[in-house]
Amino acid sequence: MTKTAFDKDGLARWYASQHLKVDEAIPSIFYLPAGSGEREIRLVEVNERIGDRTDDYLEPIDFGIDMGMESAHKLFVLDVTPDQWNRIDSGRLSLPKDWSLEGMVPFRR
Amino acid sequence: MNVYQEHWWNQAKSDYEAFAFLRREGARQCHCLHYLQMATEKIAKAYFWRSGSPPPRNHSGFVQCLRFLGQVRRLDQERLCRLLKFSRFTDFENWIRTALPLAYDLEHLSPNLANDGPNPEYPWPHHEPANAPATHDFAIWRELEHGRGRDLMRVIGTLVERFPEYADT
């Protein structure tokens, strides 16, 4: 099936702006394009209202979008606490497998 | 709706029915809140299964579900507005913004997210219990009984009972 041109970076920017606009608990979002699939968007969302977890196993939510349509893509959102983000940023906490901070694009409130 | 969604929806409906029954019968706040929190967690997981991939095993998700419903594609917006009784999609987006803090509070009732504080299942704090859920007056319960909270309850009821109508959005 031929698929339409997919503006992955533009869409990532749009999702990030929507989430920042709607949820005051999110001060910053990081778009991680490195290593992601052609139609896959990975966002790390720092959230001040999610509780500290007893474990540090980070699991993103997969929002399959427009499945079966030409615009089909995957949006993965990983919610982390500010403390978890600090540890990710300083290399003390691992991102999910195959995720990388290389070339990350920050979006802030 | 796929088969995975159907299983989670069935469980969410059952939890929600238990909540409605307990509230009707005047059960203690903790039991009502316990079932309400579980119903919201499960309807969120039912929604996430639309991708065909398992959602995280933790007890959160309802907030992300609401947030995500606020960004459905244009062609689904009218359907969602009709279902949830909002005149315009912008009204729904604004409503989400005001409802999220309460949705977070509801999510944080789950014992592993409650930071060793008020939760509907276990006495707290764990190492020196000073409160029992059965005798606690939950601030969130009072909020859910008024204005903004009642409206959130209305939306939760619709999201659970009419899930097939938006499961694919």
pLDDT in tens, A16-59: 999 999 999 999 999 999 999 999 999 999 999 887 665 667 88
pLDDT in tens, A65-89: 877 788 788 999 999 999 999 999 9
- What is the ipTM, given to two decimal places? 0.78
- Report the Cα A28 to chain-centroid distance in Å: 11
In the 8-state DSSP scheme, what is residue A81?
A: -
Alpha-carbon distance B124 to nearest alpha carbon in chain A (angstroms): 16
Query: What is the spatial distance between Cα B110 and Cα B58, in angstroms, rounded to a whole number?
Result: 10
A14, A50, A52, A56: best to mutate for the B interface, most B CBs within 10 A:
A50
Contact criterion met (CB below 8 Å) for B43 and B9: yes
- The C-alpha angle with vertex A59 and arms to B70 and B59, in degrees rounded to 5, equals 70
Question: Confidence band (pLDDT; 50, 70, 90) for A100?
Answer: very high
Residues 38-77 of A with CB under 8 A from B: 49-54, 59-67, 74, 77
pLDDT in tens, B14-56: 999 999 999 999 999 999 999 999 999 999 999 999 988 888 8
A22: closest chain B residue by CA: B97
Alpha carbon separation from B94 to A47, B70, B87, B108, B117 (Å, rounded): 20, 9, 12, 22, 30
pLDDT in tens, B62-111: 999 999 999 888 889 999 999 999 999 999 999 999 999 999 999 999 88
Query: What is the spatial distance between Cα A78 and Cα A50, in angstroms, rounded to a whole number?
Result: 12
Query: What is the spatial distance between Cα B11 and Cα B2, in angstroms, rounded to a whole number?
Result: 15
**DSSP labels, B70-126:** TT--HHHHHHHHHHHT-SSHHHHHHHHHHHHHHHHHHHTTSGGGTTTS--SSS-BST
Helix (H, G, I), strand (E, B) or coil at B155: helix
With 0-12 CB in 10 A as exposed, 13-18 as middle and 19+ as buried, what is B75?
exposed
pLDDT in tens, B114-156: 888 999 999 999 999 999 999 999 999 999 988 889 999 999 9
Question: Confidence band (pLDDT; 50, 70, 90) for A9?
Answer: very high
Taking each helix axis as running N to C, give the angle between helix B89-107 and helix B62-69, from 0 to 180 degrees, rounded to the nearest 10.
170
pLDDT in tens, A50-70: 876 656 678 899 888 877 788
What is the pLDDT at residue A4?
Answer: 62
Question: Confidence band (pLDDT; 50, 70, 90) for A3?
Answer: low
Q: Residue A65: what are its φ and ψ, rounded to 5°?
A: -120, 135
As a residue count, chain B comes to 169
0.95 cut: is pTM over it? no
Helix (H, G, I), strand (E, B) or coil at B15: helix
A11: closest chain B residue by CA: B71
